[in-house]
Structure 1
């Protein structure tokens, strides 16, 4: 028998027996020595497996509790990180709560391969992973339980995340084409589900006057605890640390599951709303103007009457059935809807070195409907001394968008250092939301993990045949403009060799795929559709795991084609971006009281081909030479339950134009925190206090691929109290 209880509860012999009694009694609340004696007289437990509230299917936490021991690798399924021929990190719910990270983007702040290109006070999360953009443009690139088309499009809140996983490098062969063509990596949100019983209430505060609360409930039912339910809801509202900015955000998430002997099923539903007044926006530099010194992060040129309202809802149903002990069939179906109504400028333009800005707000209404389906079979068998784990999978992703995008009615002038308030400018409205595009991505994939010598050698091979079909319509009109129907096959291969128990050497070759661009109206071949872009990665590395402390060192090279307009105004796949990198990560316990998490990434980005010959050899936009992250936690020996944490984040110089004439200087940020865990009236209670950007450094945080850049976060105070009832 297997019993699951929250991993962070205090365990006593009588409590363990009481838990067993509760299971047998079908949630009887009677506990104590008598119940323990009754339980031990009724049943002999062969094994007790202690898990978090995430339940079966979630990899257990590594020593220190900040990262997990495994992650989902697309068609390969859940894989132990030490046996994975790829670089992957899975951040735990415990780590996310201790940092008080509200979004998936904030939760990845200590990953040395990841950088945010939007601020924490913007209504949109976009990232760079290994020097390539993620979730830019039309968004929707966060995966949810391994599939696209379910997670919220613009911001993924951490309330419903049990794990936040980062698979680094192109991965279309394993996960399918990302909806927006990202190839630097995949961010997968593993949703919370019921493991043990849990009732947790959290209240929080963030500067300047932002208050919130969260309720997290988990229960298991049935004679064998086969039924589970997990419900999470939260609300946050108030003024943020940025001038005249307000945000109201609400989340509701429900997870149901059934765990039978051979049949298993999971159902998830997520509803999310995010409303900003005066949302922070990235900036664009006028040509020939040097990037000015970064202002105080509190400064906000966006007006109080500019706003962003985003509503998301999504759901996913997963099922699997064991035909035999070695053969399992599986399938899933899900979808989501995103509704957007906003009125602001996409990117105010900085027009002088003195910080003068010009802003032209536009009304933008967007509707996105997505559906996702997949099905397949997994089988295990042997051929001689070689074991096989084979997966065949068919997937389909459908997306339809409609949009209202009106012209600006007017503009206003402000300043980075001394923002000015201006009277409201009434927006122009079209009054309808015509169809903008629709696309269908279908894929057929096959993979085989071959292992020998007690998993000392593992060879992973596979490929995916992907077809991309799309229709584009005239903006604000809805009449047909162009069509796209292209296919490509992308392979992947990986090798892991474990000469010693605690050391793994690995290497991989993997390809990523994104739809080719359509030649713009200004091109001589306007409307021509380019073939899908194929990105390629070669990687080799070593992973170490010794006595609760782990790390990895990887060297990689990624190349990606780029569509460009030539001087003769012909649009073609004439450009290429290459990023070479050396990536070091570390995690786990140095001692039982000291934990480390972080690492460093050295990047060498280069435009190896370009339509403008003068740009060949230049550094791509937004790719720094160095990214350094180091976080530490120390359990203070003088006061039981008191933990001090600190994190240093450093990013090197970045260019915001392909000509490399405009750049952002390097920057360093210090985050500090204090956590105190205790019991109040027998209830586990944790107090947390964090300071983001404790030194109040002024810096430009990052540049996006299309040349915009964002202001770094100001000093921000976060305080919370959580209690397990």
Structure 2
């Protein structure tokens, strides 16, 4: 059973169990003596029997489930960094955890919002909600759900998971190929699903916000039978909203059922599924720097303007997936797990957008047309065995795994320059409708085998892992008018590894150092016809973590040196082709702290310094900073909840976010200014209700989030106000 496994001591002994305070003991005694309806339980009525049951309740209350919601703002255990139930204190790489309570207190409605207060992570933070655009340590972050990859298609059909369906989010910083296969050197974010619970739980949630934001949700869970061998959970959501740009809609209808079957204490089988329909899933809205960042004799155009055809543009997405999580304990030392998922997306997308800088009249731009009818499928299965054993005084947690991943896309598409418009007096109806003219068929398969050993000797923890991957990719592009076809094939293999060493002092301080590698396949070929090799990443990371004894908290400091090789750059001899001689280096420092300081006070603080540079290139970006990434980011969030006095059950939270300037284009000819944003939250608990109000960007700061060229900049999110009423029983 999951709860019983979570209750076992780790190899570090008692350190895995937090200190019990008087309030915890009192709460456990109260729960043991009274049922959920406030009536005296049979155990309490029988006296002696109640005393016998108290120790079991205490163990369940103090053990942290690495896939659970966390405690307040703090999580100390995770599976994302090692695929085992391990302490974050001795993890070989940095892992940032966003708990369920943090998401609720901050009124999170998107993944971008949930990660705003995490070290090293930044996003568009604006109105482009077509997919989650997350970056870490200077590179795009991959998205995972319950440890399986949510691949982004070569076009636009990208899986999206609403935060309401998540128990927590975890960011693994830096290369992660040794456990997960192909991926970005920046790392990944793993969304942990809400799973069936042993105790009955019911919630209905209603939200209303500015920009005509209306949302309803429900979350029901508990045992099906009296023995708890079958558990269920059913979570649903319906949302209709506009954004600060009224032409961009955000609409969603989603439901996620799951059932856990536990025929005995050693077997857990959870069936999961989800259906999601986004009638309006957001739009792309780039804007030239010439009408936003730079002065213009005609005036600047604000963050509420849509620079596309509102009558024809739209994105409609239907997404569904199903799979399972299976865990079998062979004995008290060996267990086997398997996760499997099939996912499919049907997406229809039409978009017009700005594609050039301003013309000489400071008004006119060229408009790009794009149409996609995508059918995208993913299948993944990951099987691994875990063994706990000893070689003399050394305790080992050994992991062996095999995984298979396949993604396939069929897309009827078309794109071209449609014409020119005057942004100050646009006539989009004069533009022709973009027609589909190309068929794209794409597939990518990967098979990987991996092994890992977490070895503990006294206070030392050595983590070492290796992996071998074999990948095969195909891309066929067919012109519908002529039937001519171009085909790319790639077959690659990659060996990656990771090593980390940590020392855990008795006072809760743990310094560590690690080395990790990654790879990522690239479809395409050079002028000579040679297929592109995968890009590769390598990282050295060192730091220290602190888990205080006097209060519930977790603090980390990490320094890293990360390099990506085999980056595609222009072939000097054949400018319409590419060669893989590019290199990008990221160096930086990340600090992060989460603390439940007292019963009343919870804190989150983060700071990141990132020095990123293109260290090898044939283009004008050599020696320059890549776009998007700010050099400095900092954030602080605090929540104070009264538990006595006239303001009892009232809480007030506030946060400040700082982002420094970023490079606006590859040549670094201009910068996007930095900004400081303030968020506010308030909540009040009364009986079974929680009433909350959240305001993001309190002072309605207007800012450009980032630019990739002078033609393509993005407005950041203006002030949003969200009221929430949540009823739980």
Same fold (TM over 0.5): yes
Residue 360 of structure 1 is aligned with which of 363, 368, 375? 368
Pairing of 1:292-691 with structure 2 (within 5 A) = 295-305=301-311, 306-345=313-352, 348-351=355-358, 357-408=365-416, 410-411=418-419, 413-415=421-423, 420=426, 422-423=428-429, 427-430=433-436, 434-453=439-458, 456-475=459-478, 479=485, 481-519=487-525, 524-525=527-528, 527-546=529-548, 547-561=551-565, 562-569=567-574, 571-612=578-619, 615-636=621-642, 639-679=647-687, 684-691=688-695
How high is the TM-score relative to the length of structure 2? 0.87
Q: Which moved more, 1:475-484 or 1:571-580?
A: 475-484
Q: Which moved more, 1:463-472 or 1:418-427?
A: 418-427
Name the structure 1 match of 2:17. none
By how many angstroms is 1:284 displaced?
A: 6.1
Q: Distance in 1 between matches of 2:90 and 2:713?
A: 38
By how many angstroms is 1:14 displaced?
A: 5.8
CA RMSD of the aligned region, Å? 3.2
State whether structure 2 residue 148 is matched by structure 1 residue 147.
Answer: yes
**Per-residue CA shift, 1:597-635, capped at 9, x if unaligned?**
1211011111111113x5332112222211111111122
By how many angstroms is 1:709 displaced?
A: 3.5
Q: Which moved more, 1:697-706 or 1:300-309?
A: 697-706
Q: Distance in 2 between matches of 1:543 and 1:602?
A: 18
* C-alpha contact 1:650 1:667 (8 A) present in aligned 2: yes
By how many angstroms is 1:350 displaced?
A: 4.0
Q: Distance in 2 between matches of 1:144 and 1:111?
A: 19
**Per-residue CA shift, 1:362-402, capped at 9, x if unaligned?**
22111110100121211111001001111110000011101
State whether structure 2 residue 701 is matched by structure 1 residue 700.
Answer: no
By how many angstroms is 1:295 displaced?
A: 5.0
Name the structure 2 match of 1:27. none
Q: Distance in 2 between matches of 1:595 and 1:14?
A: 24
By how many angstroms is 1:528 displaced?
A: 2.7
* C-alpha contact 2:185 2:538 (8 A) present in aligned 1: no
Q: Distance in 2 between matches of 1:707 and 1:537?
A: 33
Q: How many residues align?
A: 688
Tell me: CA distance 1:51–1:401, structure 2 relative to 1, closer, same or farther (3 Å): farther
Tell me: CA distance 1:592–1:364, structure 2 relative to 1, closer, same or farther (3 Å): same
Name the structure 1 match of 2:11. none
By how many angstroms is 1:245 displaced?
A: 3.2
Pairing of 1:64-463 with structure 2 (within 5 A) = 65-73=72-80, 76-117=83-124, 119-134=126-141, 141-149=142-150, 153-178=158-183, 182-195=184-197, 196-259=199-262, 260-276=264-280, 279-283=283-287, 295-305=301-311, 306-345=313-352, 348-351=355-358, 357-408=365-416, 410-411=418-419, 413-415=421-423, 420=426, 422-423=428-429, 427-430=433-436, 434-453=439-458, 456-463=459-466
Tell me: CA distance 1:351–1:326, structure 2 relative to 1, closer, same or farther (3 Å): same
Tell me: CA distance 1:213–1:253, structure 2 relative to 1, closer, same or farther (3 Å): same
* C-alpha contact 1:365 1:405 (8 A) present in aligned 2: yes
* C-alpha contact 2:357 2:710 (8 A) present in aligned 1: no
Tell me: CA distance 1:406–1:691, structure 2 relative to 1, closer, same or farther (3 Å): same
Name the structure 2 match of 1:711. 715
* C-alpha contact 1:150 1:336 (8 A) present in aligned 2: no
Q: Distance in 2 between matches of 1:723 and 1:549?
A: 29
* C-alpha contact 2:412 2:439 (8 A) present in aligned 1: yes
Residue 67 of structure 2 is aligned with which of 50, 58, 65? 58
State whether structure 2 residue 725 is matched by structure 1 residue 721.
Answer: yes
**Per-residue CA shift, 1:276-312, capped at 9, x if unaligned?**
28735234669xx969898543232233321111111
By how many angstroms is 1:701 displaced?
A: 1.1
Q: Distance in 1 between matches of 2:300 and 2:462?
A: 49
State the secondary structure of the residue aligned to 2:149.
coil
Tell me: CA distance 1:387–1:50, structure 2 relative to 1, closer, same or farther (3 Å): closer
Q: Which moved more, 1:273-282 or 1:497-506?
A: 273-282
Tell me: CA distance 1:722–1:191, structure 2 relative to 1, closer, same or farther (3 Å): same
By how many angstroms is 1:155 displaced?
A: 2.8
Q: Distance in 2 between matches of 1:323 and 1:708?
A: 56
5+ residue gaps in structure 2?
7-22
Q: Distance in 2 between matches of 1:435 and 1:602?
A: 40
By how many angstroms is 1:580 displaced?
A: 0.3
Q: Distance in 2 between matches of 1:620 and 1:369?
A: 32
* C-alpha contact 1:300 1:419 (8 A) present in aligned 2: no
Tell me: CA distance 1:408–1:197, structure 2 relative to 1, closer, same or farther (3 Å): same
Q: Distance in 2 between matches of 1:462 and 1:707?
A: 44
By how many angstroms is 1:122 displaced?
A: 2.4
Q: Distance in 2 between matches of 1:352 and 1:16?
A: 73
Q: Distance in 2 between matches of 1:516 and 1:400?
A: 15
* C-alpha contact 1:341 1:364 (8 A) present in aligned 2: yes
* C-alpha contact 1:279 1:302 (8 A) present in aligned 2: no
